[in-house]
Amino acid sequence: MTAPAFQLYAQDFLTGCIFLTNEEVGIYIRILTKQWTDGKIPKKRLGFLVGFEWDTFSEELKEKFIDEGGFIYNKRLENEREKHTNFHKKQVENGKKGGRPRKNIPLENVDNIADLEGDKKPTKTQTETQIKAQKSSSIYEDEDEIEIEEEIEKEKKGGMGEKKTEEQNQEETPKPKKEMVLIIPEDFEELWDEWKEYRKAKKKKPYAGIKWEQNALNRFLELSNDDPALGRKVLDQTTSQNWEGLFKLRENEQPNDHNTDHNIRRLRNDTSKVSGTSEIISGARYTEFT
């Protein structure tokens, strides 16, 4: 009996039909299905089957079939039919024997097999089922030894059936993981939120976690000397320059005693050019003209 279906290898089919038109692919499929159900196709029936005579087929389509004069057929489809038939026969034979044949285990590969029937020794063709039956007694003995060892281990741990102490329960209870919390001074919260908004506007990824955000925050506090006013300048410096990160404040923008002294000396030099008395009050110059 012919099987109702055959295997179609998608990749092989697409590759093999790459040079066929859509119409030719339809003709090819129809001839294959007819061949699978009825065998080789008579050439004189092609006009009735697909609407075209063999002589009108393109060379690419003709290459898919074996021409036997009065008949055509696809060789690979017949190979698939043969493989399927052989497999089916093998399954039928195994079914008649009671299923898949059992493996024969050579005697030299079997150790300590108890005799099944009196003093008879097992034959070399003894099956796996017989061997398992003969080994069952030794298996049970091994299981008894395992159970004894397990009971000894339980006694060492406090005995079988005894209630566990509170200390043992506490040790076995998994401790909940501590959730990390961002530690940030209150007067830096607004600055840090502004920094994260700036990063978001530049389409940078958020920090991978609290741990890495805390590292970045600590760096910001270090650059700011824990001074929110200085932190504001550090942040403004980054945003105004469109930088990617936070950096140490430039020297000309940092409060510096050296710069103050320099400004005082410059102002004093300027007053020498003016007739009158000058004095510096809180960094500003006041001149009294005479």
Instruction: Give tens-digit pLDDT for 18-76.
Output: 999 999 999 999 999 998 999 999 999 998 999 999 999 999 999 999 999 899 999 99
Question: Over the chain, what is the mean pLDDT?
Answer: 76
Q: Which of 7-11, 195-199, 216-220, 285-289 has the lowest mean pLDDT?
A: 285-289
Q: What is the DSSP string of 199-257?
A: HHHTTPPPPSSHHHHHHHHHHHHHHTTT-HHHHHHHHHHHHHHT-SS--PPPGGGS--H
Statement: residue 141 has pLDDT above 80: no
Statement: residue 218 has pLDDT above 90: yes
Tell the burial category of 46 from Cβ atoms under 10 Å away from its Cβ (0-12, 13-18, 19+): buried
Statement: residue 260 has pLDDT above 70: no
Rg (CA), the chain: 47
Of residues 224, 226, 227, the one with CA closest to residue 237: 224
Statement: residue 115 has pLDDT above 50: no
Q: Are 228 and 187 in contact (CB under 8 A)?
A: yes
Beta bridge partners of 279: 286
Q: CA neighbours within 13 Å on the CB side: how many for 196?
A: 11
Q: What is the pLDDT of residue 97?
A: 81
Helix pair 228-241, 210-223: axis angle to 10 deg: 100
Helix pair 210-223, 189-201: axis angle to 10 deg: 110
Of residues 113, 108, 106, the one with CA closest to residue 136: 113
- Report how far Cα 128 is from the mean position of its chain's Cα atoms: 42
Backbone angles phi, psi at 288, to 5 degrees: -105, 115
Q: What is the pLDDT of residue 121?
A: 54
Whether this prediction's pTM lies above 0.85 is answered by no
- CA 32 – CA 81 distance, rounded (Å): 12
With tokens 């102490």, the residue in question is 165
With tokens 């976690």, the residue in question is 209
Taking the alpha carbons at both ends of the chain, their separation in whole angstroms is 131
Of residues 25, 30, 24, the one with CA closest to residue 13: 25
